[in-house]
Amino acid sequence: MTTLIIHNGDAKTGTSYIQNFLDVNRSILFSEHQTLYPNFNAEDLSKGRCHNHALWYNRVKQNPQQFADDLNKLSKFVQSNDVKNVIISNEAWFLQKADIEVLLNISKGPEPFQLKTISYLRRVDFWFESAWKQWGIKQFDSCDEFSELPLIQERFKGILNHLEDWAQALGYENVIVRPYEKQQLTHGLVHDFITALGMDHDATQWNPTEATNLAANTGFNRDVLEMLHYCRNLFTDIHDNRLFDLFSDLLTENFQKKPFEDYALVSPQQRLNMINNNLPYENQIAEKFMGRENGTVFHDRLPNPDEPWQPYEGLTLEKALPILVTMIDSNNQKQLENRRLLSQIRR
């Protein structure tokens, strides 16, 4: 029986990086591992480019006939090509019970797929920091206000309920949960993902992921974040990334945050409170879904309330001016280069 793996995030756990890896290695996965990362936009599902399945899902979930047609197409392709595994990926499925009900219809299609899910979890204080820089700065007046939301303080309660919903439908053994934590990803995130799905990562010469923001989902440093926060009224909604794209295009790596780097947006005591509020649910997840009798998902050192910490001093003129001048200079250099190319074309 073919296994269909639903990679559903969580958000802020390197999902885009995994998706880019799957996208650029679609042919290798198919030819060397009998694993399909389907491109529903192509006649041949194993060819072409398709970063993830968000657009496909949004198209078919309201169109039962299209959904049935695509599942029939997938089933025929799987049978004709002796596919062992199919992977579909979309982090928007995480925490959405309605999407679970829709996705379960896959198992009722013409091909009797065995369904599994794989999710990565990030410690709540680190998740909060990453969520603030992408969504919180567009909506809320302060980090403190954002940190008090049930989205943060009760996050693992919702995650536990979500995983239980999947387990009720598929069985606990088919719900894979992995930690998104650097010290536990000893060989990297992609290696962990591929290994968790039962493939030998090291036996294959993979194509490298692309050096694009779509794959890396690069963040900004604290001062750039504050500048974007000042501009929050310019965002149309939480998914409006135009200013992010503008800053990414015009700023150098000197203004970027390193992966897994701590922002220190709130005090160690506030971070510890977040963790403790979520800990009872985290313990249950570790025991039920990861087989960890000690009830621990994460291994990183806990915040120490007594450790030195200074609140962010704010965006001073001395900090803001280099950001603005760098952007102006970068834009000017692009214009000069465009004029040079245009001049060559006219000759």
Torsion of CA 180, 185, 190, 194, to 10 degrees: -100
In a domain, 251, yes or no: yes
| pLDDT score recorded for residue 261 | 66
Max CA distance (Å), the chain: 73
* Better pLDDT: 180 or 134: 180
pLDDT in tens, 110-152: 777 999 999 999 999 999 999 999 999 999 999 999 999 999 9
Q: Tell me the whole-structure pTM to 2 decimals.
A: 0.90
> Do 8 and 91 touch, CB atoms closer than 8 A?
yes
Same domain, residue pair 204 and 100: yes
Phi-psi region of 85 (alpha: psi -120 to 50; beta: other; left: phi over 0): beta
CA distance 60 to 69: 10
Confidence grade of residue 214 (pLDDT, cut at 50, 70, 90): low
Q: What 3 state SS string does the chain have?
A: CCEEEEECCCCCCCHHHHHHHHHHCHHHHHHHHCEECCCCCCCCCCCCCCCCCHHHHHHHCCCHHHHHHHHHHHHHHHHHHCCCEEEEECHHHCCCHHHHHHHHHHHHCCCCCEEEEEEEECCHHHHHHHHHHHCHHHCCCCHHHHHCCHHHHCHHHHHHHHHHHHHHHHCHHHEEEEECCHHHCCCCHHHHHHHHCCCCHHHCCCCCCCCCHHHHCCEECHHHHHHHHHCHHHCCCCCCCHHHHHHHHHCCHHHEECCCCCCCCCCHHHHHHHHHHHHHHHHHHHHHHHCCCCCCCCCCCCCCCCCCCCCCCCCCHHHHHHHHHHHHHHHHHHHHHHHHHHHHHHC
Q: What is the mean pLDDT of residues 24-43?
A: 97
Same domain, residue pair 84 and 40: yes
In a domain, 26, yes or no: yes
In a domain, 40, yes or no: yes
pLDDT in tens, 314-338: 999 999 999 999 999 999 999 999 9
Confidence grade of residue 216 (pLDDT, cut at 50, 70, 90): low
Same domain, residue pair 14 and 84: yes
- Angle of helix 124-134 relative to helix 268-290, nearest 10 degrees, comes to 110
Q: How many structural domains does the chain have?
A: 2
CA distance 61 to 242: 28
In a domain, 287, yes or no: no
What is the domain extent for residue 193?
A: 3-122+180-212
> Do 10 and 130 touch, CB atoms closer than 8 A?
no
Both tokens of 35, joined, read 């694993």
Both tokens of 91, joined, read 């982090």
Both tokens of 18, joined, read 């995994």
Same domain, residue pair 86 and 232: no
CA distance 57 to 93: 10
CA distances from 49 to 15, 42, 67, 74 (A): 17, 9, 20, 17
Same domain, residue pair 84 and 67: yes
In a domain, 128, yes or no: no
In a domain, 282, yes or no: no
In a domain, 202, yes or no: yes
Angle at 285 between CA 283 and CA 290, to 5 degrees: 110
The answer for residues whose C-beta is within 8 angstroms of residue 317's C-beta and 6 or more apart is none
Same domain, residue pair 59 and 117: yes
Pick from 34, 192, 33: which is nearest to 118 by CA? 192
pLDDT in tens, 39-92: 999 999 999 999 999 999 999 998 999 999 999 999 999 999 999 999 999 999
In a domain, 330, yes or no: yes
Confidence grade of residue 259 (pLDDT, cut at 50, 70, 90): low
Same domain, residue pair 34 and 99: yes
